[in-house]
Amino acid sequence: MNKDADTLVSRDAGADPQVAAANRQAAPEAAQVATSHRASRQAAGQSRFHESARAQVAGVATYVDDIPEIKGTLFAAPILSTVAYGKLLGVDSTAALAMPGVCGVILAADIPGDGTLASFAQDEPVFAKDTVQHIGQVIGLVVADSVMRARRAARKVVCNIEPLKAIFNVHDAMAAESFVLPPVFVNRGDAEAALASAEHTLSGTLEVGGQEHFYLEGQVAYAVPQEQNQWVVYSSTQHPGEVQHWVSHALGLDNHAVRVECRRMGGGFGGKETQAGHLAVWAAIAANKLKCPVKLRLDRDDDFMVTGKRHPFAYDYTVGFDGSGRITGLKLTMMANCGFSADLSGPVADRAVFHADNAYFLEDVAIASYRLKTNTQSHTAFRGFGGPQGVIVIEAIMGDIARTLGLDPIDVRKRNLYGVKERNVTHYQMKVEDNILAPLIATLENSSNYRERRSAIANWNATSPVIKRGIAITPVKFGISFTATLFNQAGALVHVYTDGSVQVNHGGTEMGQGLNTKVCQIVADELGVPYEAVLATASDTSKIPNASATAASAGTDLNARAAQYAARNVRDNLAAFVAGLDRCGAGAVQFSCGEVITPTGRRPFTEVVKLAYANRIQLWSDGFYRTPKIHYDKTTLTGRPFYYFAYGAACTEVAIDTLTGESRVLKVDILHDVGTSINPAIDIGQIEGGFVQGMGWLTTEQLVWNDKGYLATHAPSTYKIPATGDIPEHFKVDLWPEPNREDNVFGSKAVGEPPFMLAISVYEALRDAVGNAVDVAAPGSKPVSLTAPATAENVLKSLTG
């Protein structure tokens, strides 16, 4: 996988050398910069195995449910509401308490601290008390001496609920003015005047569904009481610091009395950013009442019923444009289905507003964002965090414009791209300073043979009456940083032991994305030691306090930089010590390949460490990093919320069966910008995984609530994530070979979330195929209406509607 810096890193062994040449022409300094990086570093820039890979394959990697239970541990199961909205009149637990092994029932009255979760909006009860607000809301727990006994007993609890009129969709919520948070409006220029004077106008609607996280490891927490009212909580969480805060708040304790640890998660995708906190709180309250450790692990069905999803969105728009397809005015209404509480809906909906431009300059624009309350699970963070819901609507608009004018959609997209020296300020007043959109798209257009394939598809469709094909290229411009500026900080500890081995601890969490691997690579290079000498340990609130969630694609940007600074402090201590020994300046001391080198000699790193310890030199240090340049006014949604943008584009070809609506992805070509990759194998894996997960969101993963508010798709039997058979044989990923233009760790860019939105090319290709089936695109063609996800049923409706 290790290639020279002046070529693209590609998953496909047959990567086209013309692609690399085109990229070198687009970014002439990239190869020299990348080469200089790799010349001075031995660990970063290489495709290292994931630090837990061998343990995971061998089945010995420990997750929360694998931790051996302490003697006396009990097990909890949730008591769930069976009514979407109603008055909770009483709870009868007589039958449950009479069952074998049952030790107690935990209800709202058993909470020793605050009965409201310590969430941002403080609008969600720990346990439902007077009302229930969705089917699956947790009313309490049954605790027993085994998991299955607790679960069976929980189903024997009888809840007396008087039903009330519930709201299940955003249109009814809008009519009832049912909001979890106030609406937000962002305007630039005069959209009304621009639309009135536009050469062409077009109005439309779009519905996009939510998405279940479907992490392989479900939600789980293990609460263990300690002496003197102290606690240890093992939590599968992306945010140990928030779990610590929530648990202490519910128990009526100071934060320092609660320690939260997370070695790894079996997937998170945003679903364990806030909602892991619920399980930790519930388990801790039960453990507090029963005075023993309590473990709570949701089974898959309950996990579906209890936890929130990606926010479903609905949109209304009117767009004005000229004869070339350039947008001259846009009015856009975004309606986010937030569920019954705010959770993270505010920043999710904000990011959707920020990304409603995607790659395109919008001069006269008016965006209205509504955060709507419905009687469903409280929707939450999911990979992209509102970005996908913003990107998809503008891409759909681009496709509608192209079809209306009879133009190739890629030409309409290119016509509207942000410029480099002009047309380069977003609708939220941030200047786009690192724009590589035009050369990146041009390179992919050429390397994927888009024009030739589009012509071949037209010929295919002309002779194929049933199977129709479509193709699309869509770009991505995704902002990197937490939009809430205060979260853009991180801390780390680096310990060098007397045998020369190194331990690093940071505030990020490992969920399979390779964060710890990248951190170890960076620390190894900073100290000039082999990668194998560095070990990353479990996230722990007693080591790094107040850490931000591992989210917003910023895990490596923040934590690897903090760890680099900590390692640098230790290195500087050693350099000053060795400089004194060899009578040279500390700047002349180099650390490389396990050696410490001065103008007069070289010593093994291990020997230097032992000498330093004998001379009482500090061999550990902390490191702290805060993202520079960012600022943001949350009242006006203006400023510079992002440190930089990550870019990419995908070309996808699909086929649909016009008799059944079934579809298949045939070919995918991706060109994505990760800066100078710290670990190309991990980055390509993230790109592939993100794309496939996005493909699932837009094709097969359909959430269905019935007219009572019951989630009918609550198991793998009814909720379909992509499987191996859905992956196209031609799936080619190339990396854009230019370092981050901002001063980021190793010149890298974030890679967790941006590739997810590359899958919007699947949706646009499906719309292209539907359009090709309905009629030949020509000026005046009707835009294709296709509800997402584009299931067989929805494709068939689009074909016949």
Residues annotated as part of the active site = 753
Strand ranges across the sheet with 86-92: 131-132, 86-92, 158-163
Nearest to residue 189, comparing CAs of 396, 327, 349? 327
Angle between the 555-582 and 515-527 helix axes, to the nearest 10 degrees? 20
Q: Encode 566-581: b = buried (16+ Cβ within 10 Å), e = exposed.
A: bbbbbbebbbebbbeb
Q: How many CB atoms neighbour CB 162 within 10 A? A: 11
Contact 687, 736 (CB under 8 A): no
Count of other CB atoms within 10 angstroms of residue 107:
18
Q: Which residue shows structure tokens 């994927």?
A: 448
Instruction: Confirm if 307 and 271 have CB atoms less than 8 A apart.
Output: yes
Residue 387 near residue 357, CB atoms below 8 Å:
no
Q: What are phi and psi of 686, to 5 degrees?
A: -65, -40
Cβ atoms of 479 and 355 closer than 8 Å: yes
For 354-417, give the DSSP string. HTSSTTB--SSEEEEEEEE--SS------TTTTHHHHHHHHHHHHHHHHHHHT--HHHHHHHHB
Whole-angstrom distance, CA of residue 529 vs CA of residue 501: 9
Tell me which residue has tokens 């102290």.
230
Strand, helix or coil for residue 273: coil
Three-state DSSP class for residue 39: helix
State whether residue 434 is helix, strand or coil. Answer: coil
Beta bridge partners of 732: 669
| Half-sphere exposure of residue 488: CA atoms within 13 angstroms, side-chain side | 20
Q: What is the DSSP letter of 450?
A: H
Tokens of 606: 């291990």
Closest CA to 409 of 204, 651, 209, 191: 651
Q: Do the beta carbons of residue 202 and residue 321 sit within 8 Å?
A: yes
Q: Which residues pair with 258 in a beta bridge?
A: 231
Written as one string, the DSSP assignment of 73-120 is: -EEEEEEE-SSSSEEEEEEE-HHHHTSTTEEEEE-GGG-SS-SB---S
Contact 121, 371 (CB under 8 A): no
Q: Are 89 and 162 in contact (CB under 8 A)?
A: yes
